[in-house]
Amino acid sequence: MVRLKAAPNGTKAARTVIIGKVSLCGYNCRQANGLTLSSRRHYGIMNKTETSAPKNFIRQIIDKDLELNKNKGRVVTRFPPEPNGYLHIGHAKSICLNFGIAVDYAGRCNLRFDDTNPEKEETEYAESIKKDVQWLGYEWSRLCYASDYFEQLYQYAVVLIKQGKAYVDSQSADAIRRNRGSLTEPGIDSPYRDRSIEENLDLFTRMRAGEFSDGEHVLRARIDMSAPNINMRDPVLYRVRHVSHWRTHDTWCIYPMYDYTQCLSDAIEGVTHSLCTLEFEDHRPLYDWVLDQLDVPCHPQQIEFGRLNLDYTVMSKRLLNRLVNEEHVSGWDDPRLPTLSGLRRRGFSAPSIRDFCARIGITKSDGIVEMGVLENSIREDLDYHAPRAMAVLRPIKVVIENYPDNHEETVTAQNHPKRPELGTREVPFSKTLFIEREDFMQDPPKKYFRLSPGAEVRLRYAYYITCTQVVKSDGGEILEVRCTYDPDSRGGSSPDGRKVRGTIHWVSAAHAVDAEIRLYDRLFTVPNPNPADFEAQLNPNSLTVLQNCKLEQSLGRRNPEQRYQFERQGYFYMDPDSSARRLVFNRTVTLRDSWGKGHPG
């Protein structure tokens, strides 16, 4: 098992390097001079060798096929989700692979719903899947449904029966399982294996006509009950299911199995390269067997690649379904989930997810990727794109005693310290401010450079202030901190060259916009959650909701599409729960990777 690690301190990732040191107070003192690859790309400082990433093994296969003029130079792929849940970041890997190949080779990529399990499939899921693929930035060549091929698939099955390559088995599901044998023992032929072609045709027609109940008969391929590959021991091709289908409704009461459907759907659509995850490697002989028996338009090549697994979360739709249905999360788009709708709501951008998929690459083995690698992708994207703003998450009041009453002014703040072209904004300043509760300490330890009695700090973009007094309630709770300011330090420097070590952010109380802020942490406390013990392993602190946070005035102008860096706090994105009267922001990611401090693992 390969493990792809995130760098311990933030922006360093798979193929990357150092980042400039971050000061204790949280402001980046030195400009980040050693940037990661994608940051370097953003900032336009890539050198030539960095751009030429090696091609993955699938692209190498395609290159060779094109050289040999295989498939007459066509490249056709498909992304075949089952509409039984929302897409997750693992699906994004497959989407970027399949659609990315179509884009780069001027080929085609279909979105095909693999809808052969009527019990679990729904229109809601199909709609969300379409939305997610488009959001990721891709457009399908054709929108296809396996259910559109039900009649064709049925006719192909009739051909197999007529060739003596398929038969109706009337054993119970249990007996079929038992008689399949094991890795060390061959299977046992079904007593129905030698039914005549006529009898098989008759039974299969009656299966379709609804004469039998669920489980009474199945159609099986007639291959080899002692094949070393268990998938080749007369696999089931069709089963009876009296269930209404989300598209074909009650037209059918027999449904084709995955292995039978996938290869034929690919062939019908003219797919050249059928890319799937590794667990289907052992199914490839069956994929090829079905196509070899039938007169199909083409014989696509199945190629397997490693599945994406992320630590501290779950990706199987079954488990995601449980999280949603048992209300451990608020829905499929809960920002703690690895679903694309959850990541989108949290503030991940489509380019950051594509960047992540490029970073993890395509390999022939399964791997576990650290959540930090995904977080680094969004962090770098937002470091470049997100305008800065000031927001106080846990406010404490500061009154500047020598500042004129009823006076206000504005100070000029940079929208992006590393990108002057993004300009500046005017931020209101007045006598009463809010600062972060943790930026004040009454009895600070050594090397605490923020506000404390007698200490002087810089208010970002504004003035130097010195703490003169702490006002407490009878119970000892700090109600406000009183300070004086140095009017000559406007803009954040003093004409006498006096230095202060700490710079803190602030918001003018009279101008502040109230907001709710939601902070997220890992959904599980263990890197590899065990489905059996799933609930005990959920992180009880995966969501922290802060009320009465104070945002700078400019954030009150609602712009739901804008992602921000709240200075020193991380990157934030407006939640759709926001209304004109109540703003809600989600923290997408912190400024640095602090995972590991005080956490298990």
Q: What residues make contact with Mg ion under the rule CB under 5 A?
A: 82
Q: Which is nearer to ligand ATP, 227 or 315 (CB)?
A: 315
317 as an active site residue: the answer is yes
Q: Which is nearer to Mg ion, 82 or 436 (CB)?
A: 82
550 as an active site residue: the answer is no
Q: Which token pair is 50?
A: 């960095």
Q: Which token pair is 109?
A: 């990529």
Q: Smallest gap, in angstroms, from Cβ of residue 98 to ligand ATP?
A: 8
Do 168 and 382 contact (CB within 8 A), yes or no?
no
Q: Smallest gap, in angstroms, from Cβ of residue 144 to ligand ATP?
A: 13
Q: Which is nearer to ligand ATP, 129 or 240 (CB)?
A: 129
Q: If you search the block for the tokens 């959650």, which residue do you land on?
A: 529
One-character DSSP codes across 21-42: ---TTSS-SS---S--HHHHHH
| Member of 23, 170, 277, 293 binding ligand ATP (CB under 6 A) | 277
- Spatial neighbors of 174 by CB under 8 A, at least 6 apart, are none
- 178 vs 186: CA distance, rounded Å: 11
Q: Which token pair is 256?
A: 């084709």
**Residues in 108-147 at the binding interface with ligand ATP, rule: CB under 6 A:** 114
What are the distances in angstroms from CA 519 to CA 393, 547, 594? 10, 11, 14
Residue 107 found at the interface with ligand ATP (CB under 6 A): no
Contact window for ligand ATP (CB under 6 A) among 85-93, 134-142, 246-254, 454-462: 85-93
Q: Which token pair is 199?
A: 């009898």
Q: Active site residue: 70, 120, 180, 307, which one?
A: 307
Residue 308 found at the interface with ligand ATP (CB under 6 A): yes
Q: Active site residue: 82, 304, 436, 456, which one?
A: 82
Contact window for ligand ATP (CB under 6 A) among 195-203, 312-320, 403-411, 554-562: 312-320
Residue 365 found at the interface with ligand ATP (CB under 6 A): no
Q: Which H/E stretch holds residue 388?
A: strand 388-389
Contact window for ligand ATP (CB under 6 A) among 11-19, 207-215, 315-323, 356-364: 315-323
Do 496 and 486 contact (CB within 8 A), yes or no?
no
Number of residues interacting with ligand ATP: please give it, by CB under 6 A.
15
Compute, in degrees rounded to 10, the torsion defined by CA atoms 437, 441, 444, 447.
50
Q: Smallest gap, in angstroms, from Cβ of residue 219 to ligand ATP?
A: 22
Find the residue with minimal CB distance to Mg ion.
82
Q: Which is nearer to ligand ATP, 171 or 321 (CB)?
A: 321
Q: What is the DSSP letter of 440?
A: B
| Member of 91, 273, 336, 450 binding ligand ATP (CB under 6 A) | 91
- 148 vs 157: CA distance, rounded Å: 16
Residue 470 binding target from ligand ATP, Mg ion, none, CB below 5 to 8 Å by type:
none
Contact window for ligand ATP (CB under 6 A) among 87-95, 233-241, 391-399, 422-430: 87-95
| Member of 10, 26, 81, 187 binding ligand ATP (CB under 6 A) | 81
Q: In 3-state terms, what secondary structure has residue 482?
A: strand
Residue 276 found at the interface with ligand ATP (CB under 6 A): yes
Do 14 and 360 contact (CB within 8 A), yes or no?
yes
Residue 307 found at the interface with ligand ATP (CB under 6 A): yes
What are the distances in angstroms from CA 482 to CA 190, 412, 445, 499, 512? 88, 24, 20, 21, 19
Residue 396 binding target from ligand ATP, Mg ion, none, CB below 5 to 8 Å by type:
none
Q: Which is nearer to ligand ATP, 153 or 435 (CB)?
A: 153
Do strands 76-79 and 388-389 pair parallel, antiparallel, or not at all (unpaired)? unpaired
Residue 316 found at the interface with ligand ATP (CB under 6 A): yes
Q: Smallest gap, in angstroms, from Cβ of residue 109 to ligand ATP?
A: 12
- Spatial neighbors of 65 by CB under 8 A, at least 6 apart, are 71, 272, 273, 301
Q: Smallest gap, in angstroms, from Cβ of residue 82 to Mg ion?
A: 5
Q: Which is nearer to Mg ion, 82 or 575 (CB)?
A: 82
Residue 315 binding target from Mg ion, ligand ATP, none, CB below 5 to 8 Å by type:
ligand ATP
Q: Active site residue: 208, 317, 425, 587, which one?
A: 317
12 as an active site residue: the answer is no
Q: Which is nearer to Mg ion, 84 or 352 (CB)?
A: 84
Give the Cβ contact number of residue 416 at 10 Å: 17
Q: Which is nearer to Mg ion, 82 or 552 (CB)?
A: 82
Find the residue with minimal CB distance to ligand ATP.
90
Residue 317 found at the interface with ligand ATP (CB under 6 A): yes
What are the distances in angstroms from CA 75 to CA 70, 110, 300, 385, 420? 9, 11, 10, 35, 44
Q: In 3-state terms, what secondary structure has residue 60?
A: helix
One-character DSSP codes across 300-332: PEEEEEPPEEETTS---HHHHHHHHHTTSSSST
Nearest to 435 by CA among 466, 463, 401, 396: 396
- 225 vs 297: CA distance, rounded Å: 29
- 320 vs 398: CA distance, rounded Å: 45
Residue 315 found at the interface with ligand ATP (CB under 6 A): yes
Contact window for ligand ATP (CB under 6 A) among 154-162, 213-221, 310-318, 474-482: 310-318
Give me the amino acid identity at 338.
P
Q: Which H/E stretch holds residue 371?
A: helix 371-385
Q: Which is nearer to ligand ATP, 123 or 544 (CB)?
A: 123
**Residues annotated catalytic, as ranges:** 82, 307, 317
Task: Give contact residues for ligand ATP (rule: CB under 6 A).
Answer: 80-82, 90-91, 93-94, 114, 276-277, 307-308, 315-317
